């Protein structure tokens, strides 16, 4: 039995440049009982996260050819050449590739994993497109109830094929860590992450708390500290006005992010768009930080009642919530303990759930052939 995972082309299954989808697959791979049977197909990279599991595919020769379609077709060719005829296929975040993969591999069970709003993605924007997928696909896995609801809007039949599988993150710490007086933002420096609201809020209050540090970690472009657009340049210019209390990291890899989170007391996650899941929220909880975040998308499912969630978030609401935590040590400690004690979105648990679904798919699909 082999499990074949198809990544979007833009996802780098790379030790230093992995983003959310690749990190989720890495986390699940680490704990999967199928680890030795999993192959991950993606854009060729020099430093793949798992050499034994990764199949790097070169870009198409013609510049204007679709890189995602090239990945899908190359994967199909490799699978068709295999002697092992018991295979399952998992397509991540590119619903439109289902038609291509199904054209070649309809004799295998195919699942789709949705990490973003399906109504914004090619191949699943309309009710008809989603209905067509559901008629032929083995399963749809959504990273949150929010994404599941978006997929099922207008759908009547085959709802039982759609499941929620929350992302998991590893808890690297065995005991609650020592916390320092640091407030942090971690994420891409783009408008929808609300980073401008964070900078405006801390700029107003930093001078009143001279023993606290305020950190900005991330960049606009994944893996790059040098490429900056006008929005990022403006954010940095405003952030450095804080002076010595400000710590500007730029892009750092996953391991460094975890070190920063381990020390920090408070994280602000002020997203202004409907976050499909909110990976940073789960990571923050695994490190026992007090969380101030926005009530959008899938975030409320992750944080639940273990942090401060703000409706219609803006700089003033962030400032008010942050001031409460800086002025009330008992409240800060309480939120940190809630975060630490109620962390449930572990990689081990998510991987176990996924493997249970895989076993069911294998049993249902191949039992007539295998037995």
CATH number at residue 38: 3.40.50.2000
Among 33-42, 60-69, 192-201, 334-343, whose mean pLDDT is lowest?
60-69
Residue 262 belongs to domain spanning: 182-341
What is the reported pLDDT for 64?
Answer: 58
- DSSP label at residue 66: -
Rounded distance between C-alpha atoms, residue 92 and residue 267, angstroms = 29
What is the reported pLDDT for 63?
Answer: 60
Length of the chain equals 371
Bridge partner residues of 4 (DSSP) = 39, 89
Determine, yes or no, domain membership for 313: yes
Determine, yes or no, domain membership for 83: yes
If DSSP codes are grouped into helix, strand and coil, which group holds residue 256?
Answer: helix
Residues 287, 359 within the same domain? no
Rounded distance between C-alpha atoms, residue 18 and residue 222, angstroms = 8
The residue that leads in pLDDT, 87 or 222, is 87
Q: What percent of the chain has pLDDT over 70?
A: 97
Q: Does residue 370 carry a pLDDT above 70? A: no
What pTM did the predictor assign? 0.93
Distance of CA 20 to the CA centre of its chain: 3
Residues 33, 164 within the same domain? yes
Residues 212, 324 within the same domain? yes
- Residue of 112, 121, 118, 166 whose CA lies nearest to 139: 112
The mean pLDDT of 133-151, rounded to a whole number, is 98
Determine, yes or no, domain membership for 174: no
Determine, yes or no, domain membership for 177: no
Residues 287, 225 within the same domain? yes
Determine, yes or no, domain membership for 219: yes
Residues 201, 235 within the same domain? yes
Residues 37, 151 within the same domain? yes
Q: Give per-residue pLDDT as tens, 42-63.
A: 999 999 999 999 999 998 776 6
Residues 315, 356 within the same domain? no
What is the reported pLDDT for 334?
Answer: 98
Number of domains in the chain: 2
Calculate the alpha carbon distances from 73 to 69, 127, 158 in Å: 6, 26, 27
What is the reported pLDDT for 369?
Answer: 46
Q: Which residue has the tokens 């973003």?
A: 116
User: What is the torsion angle, in degrees rounded to the nearest 10, for the CA atoms of residue 127, residue 132, residue 134 and residue 135?
Assistant: 140
Residues 20, 112 within the same domain? yes
Residues 357, 323 within the same domain? no
Determine, yes or no, domain membership for 176: no
Q: Does residue 330 carry a pLDDT above 70? A: yes
Determine, yes or no, domain membership for 295: yes
16: confidence class by pLDDT, cuts 50, 70, 90:
confident
Residues 322, 246 within the same domain? yes
The mean pLDDT of 14-26, rounded to a whole number, is 90
The mean pLDDT of 313-342, rounded to a whole number, is 98
1: confidence class by pLDDT, cuts 50, 70, 90:
confident
Determine, yes or no, domain membership for 129: yes
What is the reported pLDDT for 62?
Answer: 67
Residues 300, 356 within the same domain? no
Among 64-73, 138-147, 292-301, whose mean pLDDT is lowest?
64-73
What is the reported pLDDT for 195?
Answer: 98
Residues 192, 47 within the same domain? no
């Amino acid at each position: 039995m082999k499990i074949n995972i198809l990544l979007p082309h833009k996802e780098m299954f790379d030790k230093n440049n992995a983003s959310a989808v690749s990190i989720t697959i890495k986390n699940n791979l680490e704990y999967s009982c199928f680890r030795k049977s999993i192959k991950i197909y993606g854009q060729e990279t020099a430093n793949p996260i798992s050499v034994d599991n990764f199949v790097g595919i070169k870009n198409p020769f013609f510049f204007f050819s679709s890189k995602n379609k090239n990945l899908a077709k190359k994967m199909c060719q490799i699978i068709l050449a295999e002697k092992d005829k018991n295979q399952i296929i998992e397509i991540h975040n590119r619903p439109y590739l289902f038609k291509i993969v199904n054209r070649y591999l309809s004799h295998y069970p195919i699942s789709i994993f949705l990490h973003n709003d399906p109504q914004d993605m090619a191949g699943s924007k309309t009710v008809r497109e989603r209905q067509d997928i559901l008629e032929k696909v083995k399963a749809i896995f959504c990273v949150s109830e929010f994404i599941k609801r978006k997929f099922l809007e207008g759908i009547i039949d085959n709802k039982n094929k759609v499941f929620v599988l929350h992302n998991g993150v590893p808890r690297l710490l065995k005991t609650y860590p020592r916390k320092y007086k640091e407030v942090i933002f971690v994420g891409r420096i783009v408008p929808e992450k609300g980073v401008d609201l964070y900078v405006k809020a801390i700029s107003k209050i930093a001078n009143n708390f001279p023993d606290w540090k305020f950190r900005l970690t991330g960049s606009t472009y994944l893996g790059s500290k040098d490429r900056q657009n006008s929005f990022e340049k403006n954010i940095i210019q405003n952030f450095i006005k804080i002076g010595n209390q400000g710590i500007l990291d730029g892009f750092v890899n996953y391991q460094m992010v975890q070190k920063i989170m381990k020390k920090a007391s408070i994280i602000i996650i002020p997203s202004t768009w409907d976050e499909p899941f909110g990976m940073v929220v789960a990571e923050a909880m695994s490190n026992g930080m007090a969380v101030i975040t926005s009530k959008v998308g899938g975030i409320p499912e992750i944080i639940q009642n273990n942090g401060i969630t703000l409706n219609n978030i803006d700089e003033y609401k962030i400032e008010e919530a942050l001031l409460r935590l800086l002025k009330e040590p008992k409240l800060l400690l309480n939120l940190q303990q809630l975060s630490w004690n109620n962390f449930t979105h572990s990689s081990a648990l998510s991987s176990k759930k996924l493997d249970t679904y895989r076993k069911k798919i294998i049993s249902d699909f191949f039992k007539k052939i295998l037995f």
